[in-house]
Amino acid sequence: MPRAKLVGGRVVVPSIDESRQLYASGFYGQPLGVEKVKDPSQVSSPLVLDPLEALYLLETGQLEVEDEDGRPLGVEELARKLDVTEEAWGAYLVYRDLRSRGLVVRSGLKYGASFVAYRKGPGLEHAPFVIHYYPPDEPFDPVELVRAGRVSHSVRKVFVLATAGPGARQPIYITFKWLRP
């Protein structure tokens, strides 16, 4: 099983072989110093995992994470050490659910969103979904909803609004589609 180390608030897989294996198994993480991976077999540097990826891999038994002293960490302790907020925990529930449905989930920052999701993976297709996570108790401006919808439509992605609060069994998803009169 791949091992990662918590280093300065980041989860790093130092072994190149284990980094390559994790990336190839589900497009997890980002190799250090590499902007875009064209071929998973070409991963040749340590992998840096997003906090949500690290939590998911640890929770599903696909990764071991150690602190700076080499002590193994559990999911809750890792979440605390990564300063995962209540809002980020809600986003994690969405991330975990999408991954459990077989989707490859990556950052959606490029589109002003929480996530993008692929059926096959980056480099194999364009992400068909852009997902915005909103905490269930936080109101949002309808203008933001229209902006997000317009961006997703302009890049030919399905716009999905997702929410999940503490104690939620499953996230709630709302899919938006532009209608032409």
pLDDT tens-digit series, residues 84-108: 988 888 999 999 999 999 999 999 9
Task: Name the nearest CA neighbour of 46 among 25, 23, 26.
Answer: 23
Tell me the three state secondary structure of residue 93: helix
Length of the chain as a residue count: 181
Task: Name the nearest CA neighbour of 175 among 128, 111, 139.
Answer: 128
Residue showing tokens 């709630």: 172
Higher pLDDT, 18 or 152: 18
pLDDT band of residue 149 (cuts 50, 70, 90) is: confident
Q: Which CATH class is domain 3-81?
A: alpha beta
pLDDT tens-digit series, residues 27-53: 999 999 888 887 888 899 999 999 999
In this structure, are residues 24 and 41 in contact, taking their beta carbons and an 8 Å threshold? yes
Residue type, 70: G
Instruction: Report whether CATH 1.10.3720.10 matches the domain 86-176.
Output: no
Higher pLDDT, 181 or 88: 88
Residue-level pLDDT at 147: 85
CA–CA distance from 176 to each of 25, 68, 122, 124 (Å)?
A: 31, 44, 23, 25
pLDDT tens-digit series, residues 98-140: 999 999 999 999 998 999 999 999 988 999 999 999 998 888 8
The residues carrying an active-site annotation are: 118, 126, 157
Residue 141, pLDDT > 90, answer: no
pLDDT band of residue 19 (cuts 50, 70, 90) is: very high
Domain spans of the chain? 3-81, 86-176
Q: Is the fold of 3-81 the same as that of 86-176?
A: no
